[in-house]
Amino acid sequence: MLILIPQDAATVLRASGAWGRLSLRISQPDDLAVVGGISEGGGSIISVDPPPPAPRLLASCDSRPTGYWYRAKNELHALWHLLRVRRDTAMKLDVFKDAVPNGFKTPGDGGYVALTHAPGVKDAYPESRLPDLVAWHVTRAGFQPLEMSAEPETTGIRQLDHHWPVQELQNAHIMLVGAGSIGSATAHALAGYGIGHLTLVDPDRLQWHNLVRHTSSRRHIGRTKVTALAEELTQLRPDTAVTPLALDVIEHADQIRALLMDTHLVVCTADGVAARRVTGHLARRADRTAILACVLQYGALGEIIRLHPWRRHGCLTCRRHSLTEAGSLDPEPALDAGYGTGTRHRPMTAVGPDLHLVAHLAAKTAAATLLEHAGHPDQRLPGEHALIGLRRQPGWAAPFDLGRTAELRWLPATPPRPGCPTCEAP
């Protein structure tokens, strides 16, 4: 059985005296229990349940007086570690009793669960990282260790403080245009990187055919995709504040333009050339970098384009024209048509994991762009235009002629074309 110790319970145990009683909420099918109540000595058991919303166990299982907790000698926790390695090894009850100076209770027929707190164990064994709270099954025949997991004081993205530039990304604000199959996975990945604030822009609702590629579940059918995503991210990644906006980037361009003033970077995963071009145009006018992500040729190629608002970096239209003049092809030759027809990118022709692979590369590009700007040269990307082969596509001209699945090619930026209404100053 795994014993879970929520943070509130751990705090009470560490601040209490020599011994007391425990109540647990037990799920037999899961072989799992969570500490729900603690007493000081022989006094009343006080609830240590966390505040609502209650986790599944707390909501479905009654709290029952089940065992005891004790202040223990450090050596007992070293023994807990050793017995766990040896598996199914029990020790005589007298050993446990001697390591618990006060309040020891003799077990009945079925024994009981015990927690022990050894406040000095970390100083006594600094290299071993032994926990100060551990769990036991105590019977008349002896005692054995139980699996235990205590909620740490620091949870969420701040656990990575010493390994990842959490603070810079927590201060960042990204606007994500498009919350479909690529967009939903991009949103999750951006939150996973620790982006502090996401604004989600998409007017569409989640429908049945979306489920095979979208990250949202069927319980959100009929809701706007941004509302569903915001709710899921808030529960899964509470370090990221999410603002859902059921807006169309073309129809509501004026509102988007105003919001960009408080945004550090824009990511566009919208399906359609028009939405991508409008997003790039608005971002450049706002002096913001835009990252465009899509799939091409019926899901055979993934593409990430980073558009900096810099003098030598052209917009999406300039890039497409430059490639065409160099003998390549234009994979987006016309403006929008209806959903799933014309020159849409047709993400519905790809499987969800391929779309999510593109989404994660887009999120990595966004995080690396922010971090490089914040002074992290180790996050520098090899180019401004990434192509990833999702399956071999014979017959396409360079640079889209990727010969192998998962092949990744980075290209440099192309300069603005004379007279470009996006790249030239208004």
Question: Environment class of residue 262 by beta-carbon count within 10 Å: exposed (0-12), middle (13-18) or buried (19+)?
Answer: exposed
Instruction: Kindly tell me if the per-residue pLDDT of 57 is higher than 70.
Output: no
pLDDT digits (tens, 9 = 90+) for 365-420: 999 999 999 999 999 999 999 999 999 877 888 999 998 999 999 999 999 999 99
Residue 213 makes CB contacts below 8 A (sequence gap 6+) with 180, 181, 347, 348, 350, 351, 352, 355
10 Å Cβ neighbour count for 21?
Answer: 21
pLDDT digits (tens, 9 = 90+) for 203-220: 999 999 999 999 999 999
10 Å Cβ neighbour count for 417?
Answer: 17
Q: What's the distance, CA 80 to chain centroid?
A: 33
What percentage of the chain reaches a pLDDT higher than 70?
94
Helix (H) or strand (E) holding 144: strand 143-150
Residue 86 makes CB contacts below 8 A (sequence gap 6+) with none
Measured between alpha carbons, how far is 27 from 20 in angstroms, rounded to an integer? Answer: 23
The pair of three-digit structure tokens given for residue 375, joined into one six-digit string: 């002074």
Instruction: Kindly tell me if the per-residue pLDDT of 229 is higher than 50.
Output: yes
**Amino acid 58: pLDDT:** 61
Measured between alpha carbons, how far is 185 from 361 in angstroms, rounded to an integer? Answer: 10
Residue 394, sorted as left (phi over 0), alpha (psi -120 to 50) or beta, turns out to be: beta
Instruction: Kindly tell me if the per-residue pLDDT of 339 is higher than 60.
Output: no
**Amino acid 129: pLDDT:** 87
pLDDT digits (tens, 9 = 90+) for 152-184: 888 899 999 989 999 999 999 999 999 999 999
**Amino acid 345: pLDDT:** 61
Average predicted confidence (pLDDT) for the chain: 91
**Amino acid 309: pLDDT:** 96
Measured between alpha carbons, how far is 300 from 132 in angstroms, rounded to an integer? Answer: 53
Residue type (1 letter), 371: L
10 Å Cβ neighbour count for 207?
Answer: 11
Instruction: Kindly tell me if the per-residue pLDDT of 88 is higher than 90.
Output: no
**Amino acid 178: pLDDT:** 97
**Amino acid 90: pLDDT:** 84
**Amino acid 350: pLDDT:** 86
What percentage of the chain reaches a pLDDT higher than 90?
76
- Rank 86-100, 119-133, 188-202 by mean pLDDT and report only the highest: 188-202
* pTM reported for the whole predicted model: 0.86
**Amino acid 301: pLDDT:** 93
More confident residue, 350 or 139: 139
Instruction: Kindly tell me if the per-residue pLDDT of 349 is higher than 80.
Output: no
Q: Is the peptide bond before 53 cis (omega within 30 degrees of 0)?
A: yes
pLDDT digits (tens, 9 = 90+) for 279-327: 999 999 999 999 999 999 888 999 999 999 999 999 999 999 899 898 8
